[in-house]
Structure formats: C-alpha cells, structure tokens
Amino acid sequence: MKVLVVDDEKDQVESIQRGLKTKGFGVVAARNAQEALCCLEEEKDEIGLVLADYAMPGMNGLELLKTIRMRYARLPVILMTAYADKEKNVKDLADPRNGFLLKPFTLVELLRKIEALSGYRVFNPYSSLAIYD
C-alpha cells in the first residue's frame, strides 16, 4: 500500500518515510495541503491512506481532511498533531475512515492505526515478532 505523508516539517516526513518503508509501504511525500491534493489527483488509484499534520501553513490538516472527504470519500485519513487540545477540534473524526495520532508517536502506534483504518494487514499474526522484527 502507498501512504501519502503530508507535513511541512522535512525531518518529520523523512522519519515517517523511513519507518514505513522498512515495513514495505510505498510513500509519497507532500510539504503542504495543496501539494498533497496534486499528489492525490496524480496517484488517486495508488494511494491507500493519507497521514497529514494538523498544523500546516495555508490549508491546515482539518481543512485538507474535509477536502479529501468531498473528493475521495472512502480514503482513510490520519491527522497527527503535537497539541493535545487539537483533539477536541477534530471530533468530526468520529468517522470510521478518519483517525488521530498525538505526536510524538511510535512506528508501532502508527502501524496499528493504519491497520485499523485501512484494513491493510500490517501485523503478521503467525510471527511472534510481528512488526518488531
């Protein structure tokens, strides 16, 4: 599965990208919401999930989420933020296609959220190592 990672912090994108690639994911990176929407248009059949920062210049993550819902209704979206109080602002995430992660988060937490939202099998139930290998 290919994940679109949207964040204006280059280090954050690179860190997530490295982690996801070690687990077999394809990753497309965007530095802002407009770039993300262009990526979605170009690769709409390839991208299986969007992971977007809440706080970005211009269009924020919640606005991006609303735009994605209008254009790509079934695409799972995970918003991430370093500010716990933002969770209150994202209560319309009570949709099974939407998720929320509080930064900092671990790769395990991210993978569990991806699996829960997308149905993409991340964990191997036959391996005692699961994703820790």
Map out the domains of the chain as residue ranges.
2-132
Q: How confident is the model at residue 6 (pLDDT cuts 50, 70, 90)?
A: very high
For 54, the 3-state DSSP assignment is: coil
Which residues sit opposite 2 in a β-bridge? 26, 47
Evaluate whether 57 touches 13 at the Cβ level (below 8 Å). Answer: no
Pick from 2-6, 22-26, 112-116 the range whose average pLDDT is largest.
2-6
pTM of the model: 0.88
Q: In what order do the strands lie in the sheet with 77-81?
A: 26-30, 2-6, 47-53, 77-81, 98-102
Q: How confident is the model at residue 129 (pLDDT cuts 50, 70, 90)?
A: very low
Q: Is 16 a residue whose pLDDT tops 70?
A: yes
Q: Is 13 a residue whose pLDDT tops 60?
A: yes
Phi and psi at 94, nearest 5°, equal: -75, 40
CB-based contacts of 100-104 (< 8 A; 24+ apart in sequence) = none
Which pLDDT does position 85 carry in this prediction? 64
Q: Is 125 a residue whose pLDDT tops 60?
A: no
**Can you list the alpha helix ranges (DSSP code H) found in 23-106?**
33-42, 61-71, 86-89
Which pLDDT does position 126 carry in this prediction? 53
Q: 2-132 — its CATH code? A: 3.40.50.2300
Could you tell me if residue 75 is left (phi over 0), alpha (psi between -120 and 50 degrees) or otherwise beta? beta
